Amino acid sequence: MHLREITDDNRDAVRALRVRRDQKQFVASVSKSLKEAAKKAEANPWYRAVYRGDEPVGFVMLSWRPPAGPYQGRHFLWRLLVDKRYQRRGIGREALMQIAALVRADGATELLTSYEPGDGEPWPFYQKFGFEPTGEIDDGEIVLRLTFPAR
């Protein structure tokens, strides 16, 4: 599994990725995410397709140390999506491991994310990975923090 830039060659295949119907309330589509990234350049969006071999199976997007705003200078996992055909195979966990390694290599001491609470919410996934609630709520979403051990 690896992360790959989204280009004209793979954009349509990545945009075709879909989550299960019961997950749609928790994660925006790739198309919506790319539009949001284009509209919110100030959030310093960084995004990649998640590949297994030569096939796109997921999508990740971070706000990478934005110069201003509530997450100024921090890394915030904005989207994590694994196509419904490839879930429950460890792809989300592996993608998150790679993202955490990249963020840590960038000098960060933490990675933030958030989720919307509800039936089927992603909290158990993030909790198993080591994220903890910060006590903050952002636009109705619970903010989580993954703290990296000191080197």
Residue 74: per-residue pLDDT? 96
Pair of tokens at residue 68: 């201003």
For residue 22, which phi and psi values (nearest 5 degrees)? -75, -5
pLDDT tier for residue 151 given thresholds of 50, 70 and 90: low
Locate 144 and state its tokens.
Answer: 């989580």
- Average pLDDT on 21-28 reads 84
Cβ within 8 Å of residue 104, ≥6 positions away: 148
| Segments of the chain assigned E as strands | 2-4, 45-52, 55-64, 75-82, 110-115, 132-138, 141-147
pTM higher than 0.75: yes
pLDDT over 80 (residue 150):
no
**Contact present, 112 and 147 (Cβ < 8 Å):** no
Q: What average pLDDT does this structure show over 38-48? A: 94
Look at 1-5, 7-11, 26-30, 64-68 and tell me which has the smallest mean pLDDT: 26-30
How does DSSP classify residue 22?
G
Cα angle 40, 6, 145 (rounded to 5 degrees) comes to: 55
Q: What's the pLDDT band for 20 if we cut at 50, 70, 90?
A: confident
Question: In percent, how much of the chain has pLDDT > 70?
Answer: 99
Q: In what order do the strands lie in the sheet with 45-52?
A: 2-4, 45-52, 55-64, 75-82, 110-115, 141-147, 132-138
pLDDT in tens, 44-95: 999 999 999 999 999 999 999 999 988 999 999 999 999 999 999 999 999 9
Q: What is the pLDDT of residue 119?
A: 86
105 vs 103: CA distance, rounded Å: 5
What is the CB-side half-sphere exposure of residue 21 using CA atoms within 13 A?
0
Of 58, 44, 41, 43, give the one whose Cα is nearest residue 4: 58
The two tokens of residue 92 are: 């989300």
